[in-house]
Amino acid sequence: MCGGNLPRVFLIIFNTIFVLSGIGLLGMGVWMKLDNTLSKYLDAVNVGQAAPLLGQISLILIIIGGVVLLVSLIGCCGAIKKSQPLLFLYAACLIVIMLAEAAVAVLAIVYKKKINDHLHDDMIREVQKEYGRVNDTTTAYDFLQDQLKCCGVYNYKDYKNSTWFGGPGTQMVPYSCCSNYGEDRVADEYKECLNEAETGNPSKYLNKQGCEEALKKWYHDHSIKLMIIGFCIAAIQIFGLVAACILRTTYKRMNYSK
C-alpha cells in the first residue's frame, strides 16, 4: 500500500508544481504579448528574417503553457483515480513535450548563431541607410536607444556616416540617444547632449554604449533566466515521468495480484 501511495503523492505534488509552471509560462506569454517590448527589439534589428520563430515567441509560450496545464490535469486525474490509461497518456505526453523542448533548445542554438551572423550587418545598414527615411526603422531605433540607453551600432559616431546626418534640421545624433529622452524635455539638457556628441566627449547626457553591445547583453541576461526556468521545468517533468511510470507499474501489479 505504501509503495503505491508514495509515488502517487509525489506525482500529485509534482503536478501541482507543473501546473504552476504552466500558469507561469502562460502568464509570461500573455505579458510579452501585451507589453510588446521584445517584438520592438526584434523589429529594431530586423531579426525576423534570420529567426522567424522569435517573432512569435509570446504565442509559443502561451501554447506551451496551455499544453502543460492540460498534461498536468491528466497526470493529477490519473493519480487520483488510479487510472492506468491516463497515467500512460500522461507519461507519453511528457516524453513528447521533452522531445519538443530538446528540439527548441537545438533551434535556439542554431538561431543564436544566425542572429549573431546577421545582427551586425543588419544594424549597420539600418542605422546608416534607413534611420530617418524608413518610419518603422526610425521608430524602432528610437525605442531601442531609449530603453537600452544606447546610441548607434558601435557608438554615437555611427550617425555621422549615415544618410540621416546630412538631412535638413538634423543634429550629430538623434534625440533618442540622449539619456533624458522621453522624459520631461529640458532644452538645456538636450543642448548639452548634442554638445557632447559634437565635441566627442560623452559624459552625462549622451548614451555612450553602442546598441549592438547593449542588445547582446540584454539577450544574454534574459537567456540565462529562461535557461534556469527551463532546467527547473525539465527536472519537474523527469520526476513526474518517473513517478507516473512507477505508479502505473504498481497499479498493474496490484490488478494482477487480485
Report DSSP state, residue 37: H
Residue 54 falls within a domain, yes or no? yes
Q: How many domains does the chain have?
A: 2
Interhelix angle 2-35/211-257, nearest 10 degrees: 150
Give the pLDDT confidence score for residue 169 in this predicted structure: 58
Q: Residue 149 belongs to what domain range?
A: 129-199
CB-CB contact of 24 with 225 (8 Å): no
Which of 199, 216, 241 is the endpoint of a domain? 199
Residue with cell 556628441: 197
**Any domain includes 229:** yes
Domain match, 115 and 134 both: no
Would you say 255 and 5 are in contact if contact means Cβ atoms under 8 Å apart? no
Does one domain contain both 38 and 57? Answer: yes
Tell whether 113 and 133 lie within a shared domain.
Answer: no
* pLDDT, tens digit only, all 258 positions of the chain: 444 566 677 777 777 877 887 887 788 778 767 766 666 666 565 554 544 555 566 777 788 888 888 888 888 887 788 788 888 888 888 888 888 777 777 766 776 666 666 778 888 888 888 898 888 888 888 888 888 899 999 998 888 888 888 666 567 888 889 887 765 555 667 788 888 888 888 778 889 899 988 888 887 777 777 777 777 777 777 777 777 777 777 767 765 555
**Residue 210 confidence (pLDDT):** 92
Structural domain includes residue 78: yes
Residue 228 shares a structural domain with residue 115: yes
Both 15 and 109 in one domain: the answer is yes
Predicted structure pTM score: 0.64
CA distances from 182 to 126, 141, 186 (A): 22, 13, 11
In this structure, the answer to whether residues 47 and 104 fall within a common structural domain is yes
Q: How buried is residue 101: exposed, middle or buried, by Cβ count under 10 Å (0-12/13-18/19+)? A: middle
Domain assignment present for 253: yes
217, part of any domain: no
Task: Please tell me whether residues 155 and 109 are part of one structural domain.
Answer: no
- Phi first, then psi: what are they for 238, rounded to 5°? -65, -45
Q: State whether 118 and 161 are in the same domain.
A: no
> So what's the pLDDT on residue 151?
92
Domain membership of residue 38 (yes or no) is yes
Contact 201, 147 (CB under 8 A): no
